[in-house]
C-alpha cells in the first residue's frame, strides 16, 4: 500500500528518505512542497531529481480529505465538511477576526466520552482521524483562504498566514487520539510547514490525566481544560471522564503542566530547551441554565482553582435539537464572571460565532455512523440534572 505523505512529520519523512537512500534535507524540501506550496503532484516538485520524483510517485501519495461542502456564516465564519470515508464526515471551522484567523480542528469522527451537553458526544464514536486527516484540515483551509485577499495576514515572523491560530476544539477528544494528534501538531509547528508558535496552537481536553502529562513532555502547546463544574458530583454527570480522573488529579496535572512552562525541572522533558508554551491553563466553563451557573458554583470554582495559574473562558451553551439543556441568561453569565473577576481571576466570555451554520462550539456533528452500542446511562444522567437535583 502506498504511504500518504501527509501522515508524516519531519522525522517520518527523514526516515522515509533514509530508506530511499536520500539525504535528510529532502524531508524539509518535501514538507515545504506539501504544506507551503500545497502541491499534490510529485512531477511538479522541481527541485527533486527526476529519479526521486518517480520513486516517490511509485511508493507514496498525497491525499488530503475530500471537501463535501463549505458553508459560510453571515458573520464571516466558514465551515468545511470533510469526508473521511465510509459515509463519515468531520467538520472544521474558521473564525476570522480583525487581527487573527482561528481554525478549529477535529481529531476524531464522533467522540466516545459522552459529555452530556455536546452534539459530537451525542453521536457516539466512530474512529480516530489519521494524521493526514487532522493536518489535512489546516491544509484545506490554507489552500482555500490563501486565494481570498481579505484573509491576508502577516504572522509574527512576517510570513503571510490566513490561519494564525489553531485550536484543537472541533469534533472528538484530541488526547484520546494522542499519537496522530501530536504528529499533526508537530507539522503545524514546523517552520518548513505551517510555522505556528506553541502559544498559538491550543489543545482542549476533557481531562485525560496521563495524556496531559505525556503532552507536556512530548509536544507542549497551550492547554485548555473543559472544566465545566466546580465539584466532582456535578462534573461526573456533565463530563463522565471525571469518574476516572477526578478533579483533584486533573488540577494536579494542570499544575505540573504550568510548572513545566515556568521552567520547573521535570526529568526527561526534552522540550524545555525548545521554548515554553503559556504559563497558565485556560479553564473552559460552559454556562448551563440552572445546572452549573449559580453564584455558589462561581465561588466554589474560585476556591477549587486557587493554586493553579489559570484563566477562565465562559462558554454560553450552544443548543442543538434534543440537547435537553438551556443556555444561561446573559445576566447570569455576567454575574458569574463578576464573581471570578472580584476574586482577582481573569475571565472572558466566548463570543458565539457561526450560529447560522451550526459552526459554534459543541455543535459540530458532521456525519458519523456510531459503531458503538449505546448505553442507557446518558439519558438518566441528563434527567437527574434537569430535575433540579443539586450537585
Active-site residues: which are they?
91, 361
- In this chain, which residue has its C-beta nearest to ligand SF4? 121
Of 61, 279, 74, 84, residue with least CA distance to 170: 84
* Least Cβ distance, residue 13 to ligand SAH (angstroms): 28
* Least Cβ distance, residue 242 to ligand SAH (angstroms): 12
All cell numbers assigned to 139:
491544509
Residue of the chain from 73, 95, 111, 368 that contacts ligand SF4 (CB under 6 A): 111
From ligand SF4, ligand SAH, none, interface partner of 286 (C-beta below 5 to 8 A by class): ligand SAH
Determine if residue 130 is left, alpha or beta; phi over 0 gives left, psi from -120 to 50 gives alpha, anything else beta.
beta
Residue of the chain from 14, 103, 118, 254 that contacts ligand SF4 (CB under 6 A): 118
* Least Cβ distance, residue 166 to ligand SAH (angstroms): 13
Closer to ligand SF4 by Cβ: residue 22 or 173: 173
* Least Cβ distance, residue 254 to ligand SF4 (angstroms): 17
Closer to ligand SAH by Cβ: residue 42 or 178: 178
Binding of residue 135 to ligand SF4 (CB under 6 A): no
Q: Which residues bind ligand SAH (CB under 6 A)?
A: 115, 117-118, 169, 173, 204-206, 226, 284, 286, 315, 317-318, 361-362
Q: How many residues bind ligand SF4 (CB under 6 A)?
A: 11
From ligand SF4, ligand SAH, none, interface partner of 9 (C-beta below 5 to 8 A by class): none
Total Cβ atoms within 10 A of residue 276:
15
* Least Cβ distance, residue 315 to ligand SAH (angstroms): 5
How far CA 18 is from CA of 10, 46, 255, in Å, comes to: 12, 20, 40
Separation of alpha carbons 237 and 384, rounded Å? 9
Q: Which residue blocks in 61-130 are alpha helix, DSSP H?
A: 119-123
Residue of the chain from 206, 261, 328, 363 that contacts ligand SF4 (CB under 6 A): 206
In what side-by-side order are the strands of the sheet with 222-226?
66-69, 78-83, 89-96, 101-104, 165-168, 201-205, 222-226, 281-287, 310-316, 346-349
Binding of residue 115 to ligand SF4 (CB under 6 A): yes
Name beta bridge partners: 160: 154
Burial 344-361 (b: 16+ CB within 10 A, else e): ebebebbebbbeebbbbb
Binding of residue 48 to ligand SF4 (CB under 6 A): no
Name beta bridge partners: 167: 104, 202
Classified as helix, coil or strand, 165 is: strand
Q: Which residues would be at the binding site for ligand SF4 (CB under 6 A)? A: 111, 113-115, 118, 120-121, 172-173, 206, 226
Amino acid at each position: 500500500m502506498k504511504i500518504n505523505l501527509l501522515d508524516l512529520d519531519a522525522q517520518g519523512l527523514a526516515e522515509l528518505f533514509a530508506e530511499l537512500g536520500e539525504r535528510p534535507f529532502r524531508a524539509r524540501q518535501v514538507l515545504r512542497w506539501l504544506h507551503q506550496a500545497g502541491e499534490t503532484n510529485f512531477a511538479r516538485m522541481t527541485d527533486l531529481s527526476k529519479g526521486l520524483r518517480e520513486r516517490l510517485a511509485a511508493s507514496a501519495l498525497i491525499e488530503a480529505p475530500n471537501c463535501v461542502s463549505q458553508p459560510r456564516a453571515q458573520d464571516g465564519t466558514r465551515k468545511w465538511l470533510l469526508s473521511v470515508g465510509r459515509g463519515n464526515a468531520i467538520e472544521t471551522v474558521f473564525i476570522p477576526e480583525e487581527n487573527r484567523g482561528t481554525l478549529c480542528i477535529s481529531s476524531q469522527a464522533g467522540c466516545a466520552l459522552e459529555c452530556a451537553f455536546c452534539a459530537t458526544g451525542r453521536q457516539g464514536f466512530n474512529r480516530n482521524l489519521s494524521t493526514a486527516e487532522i493536518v489535512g484540515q489546516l491544509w484545506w483551509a490554507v489552500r482555500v483562504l490563501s486565494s481570498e485577499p481579505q484573509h491576508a495576514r502577516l504572522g509574527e515572523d512576517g510570513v503571510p498566514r490566513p490561519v494564525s491560530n489553531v485550536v484543537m476544539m472541533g469534533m472528538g477528544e484530541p488526547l484520546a487520539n494522542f499519537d496522530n494528534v501530536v504528529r499533526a501538531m508537530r507539522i503545524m509547528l514546523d517552520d518548513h510547514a505551517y510555522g505556528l508558535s506553541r502559544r498559538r496552537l491550543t489543545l482542549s481536553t476533557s481531562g485525560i490525566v496521563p495524556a496531559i502529562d505525556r503532552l507536556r513532555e512530548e509536544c507542549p502547546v497551550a492547554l485548555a481544560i473543559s472544566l465545566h463544574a466546580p465539584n466532582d458530583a456535578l462534573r461526573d454527570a456533565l463530563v463522565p471522564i471525571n469518574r476516572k480522573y477526578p478533579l483533584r488529579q486533573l488540577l494536579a496535572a494542570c499544575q505540573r503542566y504550568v510548572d513545566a512552562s515556568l521552567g520547573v525541572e521535570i526529568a526527561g522533558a526534552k522540550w524545555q530547551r525548545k521554548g515554553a508554551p503559556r504559563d497558565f491553563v485556560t479553564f473552559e466553563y460552559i454556562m448551563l441554565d440552572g445546572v452549573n451557573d449559580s453564584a455558589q458554583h462561581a465561588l466554589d470554582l474560585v476556591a477549587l482553582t486557587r493554586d493553579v495559574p489559570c484563566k477562565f473562558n465562559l462558554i454560553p451553551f450552544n443548543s442543538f435539537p434534543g440537547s435537553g439543556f438551556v443556555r444561561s441568561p446573559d445576566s447570569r453569565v455576567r454575574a458569574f464572571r463578576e464573581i471570578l473577576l472580584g476574586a482577582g481571576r481573569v475571565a472572558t466570555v466566548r463570543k458565539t460565532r457561526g450560529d447560522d451554520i451550526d459552526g459554534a462550539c459543541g455543535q459540530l456533528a458532521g456525519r458519523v455512523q456510531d459503531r458503538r452500542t449505546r448505553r442507557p446511562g446518558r439519558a438518566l444522567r441528563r434527567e437527574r440534572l434537569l430535575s433540579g437535583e443539586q450537585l
